[in-house]
Amino acid sequence: MPDQLSPDALAPLVRNTIFARAEHIHYFRTVGSTNEMAMQAADAGAEEGSVFVADEQTSGRGRGGHGWHSSADGGLYLSVLLRPNLNPTDVLWLSLITGLSAHYAIDLVLGAPPDLRWPNDIMLGNRKLGGILTEMAADSTHVRHVVVGVGLNINQASFPPELADIATSLRIETGRDWPRTEIAAALLKSLDREYRALKTGLLANISGSIIKRFERCSSYAHGATVAVEEAGGFTGQTVGLDARGFLRVQTQDGVKTVLSGGVRKVAGD
């Protein structure tokens, strides 16, 4: 039986954060997509810090137009609404700080840090433990709102055959169940800290810290031999993140910048 993700359980655990108002935590037993709900609410004027969380999604969205497996057997499906004063080209920072927040939250609760695969995947070994989907409404120079959705595989005992080789859960890895509410709270607390720093620090000052910490938390950032599915596909060795937060890969034709993801490790020479 999944643990209860109700607003009354979650709100006291995230006191003093922008996510703390129980009336702005929206819990669904089943919903199409928490990102979709959050985007609709944002259009209707919902407040920054609103949280949308579900036990099950019937049309969970993943990156690149993919779906996100969201059955009611112990996953965490959570989206937050943010209204940052950012240029659309800087929204990548929100994805990176959310990845860091998920990394810190899982480390705190589990006692073992997951890996981060640029830009948005939370990994245990070669399998995906979670993912982040950032969606926004913006004009050419200004972001109106951003919805950051996080899917974490926590208590699933198994996955459908097509995902079994690429997905894992905390339960599969450790043989026991984990409290989703505690993990959700740790994630929101960490994201609150990161987001406040991003908003208050000049982006120019804070971006260096995000890059350094992301590189420290990711075995993909430096010296990994990777295949990248963009620009016709290329392979090479990662050489860190650039000043805008994009991953750089040293290829035979020089250093290439990965813009959208689709990075996987391949055996080196």
**Which parts of this chain interact with ligand BTN (CB under 6 A)?**
33-35, 57, 60-63, 66, 68, 77-79, 120-121, 131-133, 149-151
Only one residue has tokens 């965490």, namely 76
In the bound state with ligand BTN, the residue whose beta carbon lies nearer, of 78 and 116, is: 78
Report in angstroms how near the CB of residue 167 gets to ligand BTN at its nearest. 10
In the bound state with ligand BTN, the residue whose beta carbon lies nearer, of 14 and 102, is: 102
Max CA pair span of the chain: 55
Residue nearest to ligand BTN (CB): 131
* Closest to 220 (Cα-Cα) out of 167, 254, 261, 187: 261
Report in angstroms how near the CB of residue 112 gets to ligand BTN at its nearest. 21
In the bound state with ligand BTN, the residue whose beta carbon lies nearer, of 61 and 248, is: 61
| Amino acid symbol at 121 | D
DSSP for 193-224 reads: HHHHHHHHS-HHHHHHHHHHHHHHH-TTSEEE
Report in angstroms how near the CB of residue 153 gets to ligand BTN at its nearest. 10
In the bound state with ligand BTN, the residue whose beta carbon lies nearer, of 209 and 246, is: 246
Tell me the three state secondary structure of residue 127. strand
Report in angstroms how near the CB of residue 226 gets to ligand BTN at its nearest. 17
Report in angstroms how near the CB of residue 228 gets to ligand BTN at its nearest. 16
Q: In what order do the strands lie in the sheet with 234-241?
A: 254-258, 247-251, 234-241, 222-228, 263-265
Quote the CA–CA distance of 221 and 214 in Å, as a whole number.
Answer: 8
In the bound state with ligand BTN, the residue whose beta carbon lies nearer, of 36 and 215, is: 36
Report in angstroms how near the CB of residue 120 gets to ligand BTN at its nearest. 6
Structure tokens at 77: 């499906």
DSSP state, 113? P
In the bound state with ligand BTN, the residue whose beta carbon lies nearer, of 114 and 140, is: 114
Q: Among positive and negative, which fits the CA dihedral 218, 219, 223, 224? A: negative
